[in-house]
């Protein structure tokens, strides 16, 4: 009798001290297109869900802490969603022996720290930790971790220290909408990243030792506080193809930053750029798109993009350029589009389009152009020409001859005088692709 009582008391004591991760939570799972759910309490998710076939699980309720082995040894778990469950802490060892786990979603919780060994040895497709309050990533937090993508967006990280991703391999990391201003040298160097998203942070420079990623193809640093680019900033990014630096504080682009890179797409829009060195874009043989929209450029340099044989689109809208010089596009005779929309262009040199053979779309809309030389496009083929929103009151000569090499043209919103308007009306009648 006494022995039975002692055993009962020990059982009660042990049950009270046992760390329970899931208490009165709703567990919903999908199995063979059939959704089932239960309300359960357990220290390990394995005891709640079926163990027959691959299963996706969603938990709702309050899960403030994931204790050691709370999601452990579940061989059929494919997806686990713990969104908005009040999660404050993940103990090291909470996840383990999950051979089929592909997606782990821990968004909209209250995590402030990812401790050492939290995700050690996991091999997943995606882990989403966005929209928490994570301030600290401890060294070894993702040790020997393998994934295609990790999202840490919308947290409170200020730095990435060394050792966080020790012996890890990742294809893509998103660290946007944090407070980042420091990446420790080599912190991301050994994980074979191909894509890195760090927009909406506080970086003021590009440290080549921090951005030492030999396999990186895409880098997004939009909306940081980068004020200066220096020759050699990209020297440790030999495979970089897609680079976004929009919405920063750049005022000047010097020579030696982008030369001889493999960049295909370069986005510098919405900065404060007033000067670009004549050779800043030389020998960018792979470049397809250059976007310098919405800056403070006052002139177009016809020496830009020497050796950029693959350029397709050039976007220079919303600057303060006042004229287009001789042979403005001599370095790239055939392009898809050139946009000068929303500048202050008044003068176009009669030789501006010399050496340009073909442009699919030329946008000169919303400028200050008040005259059009009939010989401007004599030697260039144009798919579409937009002259809308300028100051043209007349174009002298036969419009059909003047625009014989133009397939379509937009002439809306110009202050045409009455005499010229009649000629334009006749032109419109004969050429239905023209807009007045």
d(CA 36, CA 358): 62
The tokens for 105 are 């979603």
DSSP label of 413: S
The tokens for 280 are 């800043």
Hey, CA dihedral for 293, 297, 299, 302, is it positive or negative?
Answer: negative
Q: Which residues contact 156 (CB under 8 A, 6 or more apart)?
A: 112, 133, 134, 135, 178, 179
Ranges in the chain, pLDDT < 50: 1-3, 6-16, 432, 434-436
The tokens for 44 are 């390990």
At residue 174, the pLDDT reads 97
Backbone angles phi, psi at 315, to 5 degrees: -115, 115
At residue 388, the pLDDT reads 94
Hey, CA dihedral for 382, 388, 390, 392, is it positive or negative?
Answer: positive
| CA 285 and chain centroid, separation | 23
The tokens for 1 are 């009798």
DSSP label of 318: S
At residue 400, the pLDDT reads 85
pLDDT digits (tens, 9 = 90+) for 344-380: 999 999 999 999 899 999 999 999 999 999 999 999 9
Following DSSP, what letter does each residue of 90-157 receive, concatenated? E-TTSEE--TT--EEE--SS---EE-TTSSTT-B-SEEE--SS---EE-TTTTTT-EEEEEE--SS--
The tokens for 298 are 């006052």
pLDDT digits (tens, 9 = 90+) for 86-115: 999 999 999 999 999 999 999 999 999 999
Cα-atom radius of gyration of the chain, to the nearest Å? 30
The tokens for 31 are 């199995």
């Amino acid at each position: 009798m006494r022995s039975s009582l002692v055993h009962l008391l020990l059982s009660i004591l042990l049950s009270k001290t046992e760390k329970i991760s899931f208490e009165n939570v709703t567990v919903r799972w999908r199995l063979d297109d059939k959704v089932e759910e239960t309300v359960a309490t357990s220290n390990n998710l394995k005891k709640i869900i079926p163990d027959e076939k691959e299963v996706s699980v969603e938990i709702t309720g309050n899960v403030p802490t994931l204790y050691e082995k709370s999601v452990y040894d579940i061989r059929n778990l494919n997806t686990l969603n713990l969104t908005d469950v009040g999660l404050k802490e993940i103990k090291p060892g909470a996840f383990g022996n999950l051979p089929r786990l592909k997606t782990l979603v821990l968004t909209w919780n209250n995590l402030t720290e990812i401790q050492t060994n939290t995700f050690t040895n996991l091999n997943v497709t995606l882990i989403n930790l966005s929209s928490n309050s994570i301030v600290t990533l401890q060294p070894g937090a993702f040790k020997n971790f393998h994934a295609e993508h990790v999202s840490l967006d919308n947290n409170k990280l200020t730095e990435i220290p060394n050792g966080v991703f020790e012996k890890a391999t990742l294809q893509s990391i998103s660290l946007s909408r944090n407070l980042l201003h420091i990446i420790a040298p080599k912190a991301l160097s050994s994980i074979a990243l191909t894509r890195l998203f760090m927009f909406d942070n506080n970086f003021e420079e590009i440290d080549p030792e921090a951005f030492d990623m030999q396999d990186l193809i895409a880098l997004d640093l939009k909306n940081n506080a980068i004020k200066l680019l220096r020759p050699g900033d990209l020297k440790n990014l030999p495979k970089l193809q897609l680079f976004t630096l929009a919405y920063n504080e750049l005022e000047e682009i010097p020579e030696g930053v982008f030369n001889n890179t493999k960049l295909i797409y370069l986005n510098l829009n919405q900065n404060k750029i007033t000067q670009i060195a004549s050779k800043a874009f030389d020998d960018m043989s792979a470049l397809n798109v250059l976007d310098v929209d919405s800056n403070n450029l006052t002139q177009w340099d016809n020496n830009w993009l020497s050796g950029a044989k693959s350029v397709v689109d050039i976007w220079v809208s919303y600057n303060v350029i006042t004229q287009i010089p001789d042979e403005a596009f001599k370095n790239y005779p055939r392009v898809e589009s050139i946009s000068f929309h929303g500048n202050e262009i008044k003068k176009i040199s009669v030789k501006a389009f010399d050496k340009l053979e073909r442009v699919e779309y030329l946008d000169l809309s919303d400028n200050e152009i008040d005259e059009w030389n009939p010989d401007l496009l004599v030697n260039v083929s144009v798919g579409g020409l937009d002259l809308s929103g300028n100051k043209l009151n007349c174009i002298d000569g036969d419009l059909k001859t003047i625009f014989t090499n133009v397939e379509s043209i937009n002439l809306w919103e110009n202050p045409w005088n009455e005499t010229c308007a009649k000629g334009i009306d006749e032109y419109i009648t004969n050429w239905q692709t023209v807009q007045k």
